Structure 1
Amino acid sequence: MTEKLDMGRRVRLNRDRVLRAGVSLADEGGIDSFSMRRLAQELEVVPMALYKHVSNKEELLDGMVEIIIAGIDPPEIGADWKDAVRLRVLSARHALQQHPWARRAIETRTTKTPAVLAYMDSFIAMFLAGGFSTDLTHHVMHALGGRMWGFTQELFDDPAMPTAAKQAAVPPEAQTVMLRRMAELYPNIATIAASAAHDDGSVVGHGCDDQFEFEFALDLLLDGFERLHRQGWTSRPGQRSNR
C-alpha cells in the first residue's frame, strides 16, 4: 500500500501502473519536463513511493520504452520474410507516432533491456527464417538501423529549409528573400526542395520523412536485401557477388 499525499486515502501502486502513468505524462508534456517528482504528483503519491517500483529515472524510461514495444504488432505468422519485416517496421512506426517522445528515449537508452533485446531478436529471426545467412543478416540489421523502430533522421529538417508550417509565420516578402538566398548558396538543395513541393492534399504532405518517404526508402532496402539474398551474397573478401 502506498500513501497518498492527503494521507487520508490510499492507492495501490504496481510497476505497470507507474510505467503507464509515465507514458501518459510524457505524451502530454514531452520528455524534457518529465521527472520522478512530476510523476509522483500525477499519481498523487509521495516521490519515494515510486522507488519501490523503479530504482531511478533511467529505469523508469527503460520501462516506458517496454510499454511502447509491447504495443508493436508481433511478426505476422505465415507471411514471407519481406512482408513480415515490412509490417513489423510500419507497426513500430505507428506506435512511435502515438508517442513523440519515444524516439528520443529509445535513442538515448544506454542499456539494452530484455524487451529491447527481444525486439531485436525477433527481427533477426524473420530474416533467418527467410533463409538469409547469418553474415547477410548481420549487415542487414546494420542497414536497417533506427528504421527497425520506425524512424529515420530527417534529411531536410533544418531551419534553413522552412516547412510550410514555419513559412506560415514568416511574411511572404521574407520567405521570398530566404528562398532566393538559399538558391544562391545551395542551388542543388533548392532545386530538390522546389521539385518536392506538395499540395496540401498530397500523400506526402509537408516534410520529407512522412509515411510516403519512409515506405519508399524501406521498400528500396527490402528489395536490395532480397537481391543480395538471391545472389548468395557474402561479406568475405574475394567471394562477394558483383551482380
Structure 2
Amino acid sequence: MTRQEPAPAHRTPLNRDRVLRAAVALADTTGIDALSMRKLAQELDVVPMALYKHVAGKEELLDGMTDAVLGEIDPPAAGPDWRQVVRGRILSARRVLLRHPWAARVIESRSAPTPAVLAYLDSMAGAFRDGGLSADLTHHVMHAMGSRLLGFSQELFDTSGPSGPPDPALAAHYPHIAELAATAAHDGGSAVGGGCDDQFEFEFALDLLLEGFEGLRRRGWTSARRA
C-alpha cells in the first residue's frame, strides 16, 4: 500500500492588511522600539523579503500602522451641540491611543501626515465648521488644539515618576512648583506614554478649550479683529 504524504498545512495568504495588523499587535506587546522587519517576519512565519511585497520598508510600515490605529477611532456622532460631537470624537481617539501607547510617538515622528491622519483632521475641521465656526476661527482652533485633536498632549515635565512629598531642596528654591507638585494627583495607568496628561487633566483642558471656542464663535471673532 502506497503511503500518503500529509497534506500541507493551510497558510493564510499574506497581504498588506495582515502585515499591518500583525505589526500593530507586535508593537502593543513588545513596544515600538523592539519592532523590526525581521521580528515581524518571524511573527508571520515568513521570510523578511516577503514583507517588502506589501510595505517598502520600516517607514512605510510605520505609516501604515498609524493609519490602521486611526481606523479604530469612532466616526463622528450626530448631535445638536458641536462641542459634544468634537469632545466625543477626541475622547474616542484618546481611548484608541491608550490601547496602543506607542502610537502617539509614531504619529509625531512622521515627516508628513498619513492619509488617515489627514482624513481625521479634515473631518474634525468639518465638525467645527458644521458647528458654526468660521473658516478663520476653525484655522486658529486647529492650531490651538494641536495634538489634542488626536487624543494626546505633552506635559511640560515628565509626571510619571513616584508621587509623594516634594524634595525639601526643591521646596526651598521653587516653593510654588513644590506646592503644585504636592497637590497634583497623577494616574500613571491612564497616560498615553510617559509624561502625558492623565485623563482628568486632559478632559479639563479640552473642556476649557471647547468652551472658549464657543465664546469666540458667539462673539463673531475674527483674526482681523484680534487686536
Q: Into which bin does the TM-score normalised by the smaller protein fall?
A: 0.7 to 0.9
Greater relative CO, 1 or 2 (CA 8 Å, sep 6+):
2
Match of 1:180 among 168, 171, 180: 168
What's the counterpart of residue 141 of structure 1? Answer: 142
Q: How far apart are 1:79 and its partner, in Å?
A: 4.2
What's the secondary structure of 1:13's corresponding residue? coil
Alignment of 1:116-135 (within 5 A): 116-135=117-136
Q: Name structure 1 gaps, 5 residues minimum.
A: 1-7, 168-175, 201-206
CA RMSD in angstroms comes to 2.2
Opposite residue 59 of structure 1, the aligned amino acid is E
- Equivalences for 1:1-243 in 2 at 5 Å? 10-157=11-158, 162-164=161-163, 179-197=167-185, 209-236=197-224, 239-240=225-226
Contact 2:154 2:196 in 1 (8 A): no
Contact 2:153 2:196 in 1 (8 A): no
User: Take 2:130 and 2:186, find their aligned partners in 1: how far apart are those partners?
Assistant: 40
Match in the other structure for 1:173: none
**Distance in 2, Cα, partners of 1:217 & 1:114:** 28
Quote how far apart the aligned CAs of 1:163 are: 2.4
Give the secondary structure class of the aligned counterpart of 2:79: coil
The one-letter code sitting in structure 2 at the alignment partner of 1:182 is: L
Q: Mark the runs of 5 or more structure 2 residues left unpaired by the alignment.
A: 1-7, 189-194
Would you say how many aligned residue pairs link Structure 1 and Structure 2?
213
1:11–1:36 CA distance, 2 compared to 1 (3 A): same
Q: 1:197 to 1:145 in 2, by over 3 A?
A: closer
Q: Runs of 4 or more off by more than 6 Å in structure 1?
A: none
The 8 Å contact of residues 186 and 198 in structure 2, kept in 1 or not, is answered as no
CA drift at 1:114: 1.6
The offset of 1:213, in angstroms, is: 0.7
Residue 143 of structure 1, CA deviation: 0.5
1:235/1:190 CA distance change after superposition, 3 Å: same
Give distance in 1, aligned partners of 2:226 and 2:199: 34
Deviations 1:129-185 (A, max 9, x none): 0111110000000001010111111234158xx423xx7xxxxxxxx7x61111123
Q: CA 1:189 to 1:129, structure 2 compared with 1: closer, same or farther past 3 Å?
A: same
Q: Which amino acid aligns with 1:49?
A: A
TM, length-normalised to structure 2 = 0.87
Report the identity percentage: 63
Q: How far off is 1:199 after superposition?
A: 10
Q: Residues 73-110 of structure 1: CA distance to partner in whole angstroms, max 9, x if unpaired?
A: 11112342111100001000000000010010000011
Aligned residues of 2:83 and 2:210 also touching (Cα < 8 A): yes
Give the Cα separation in 1 of the matches to 2:44 and 2:80.
42
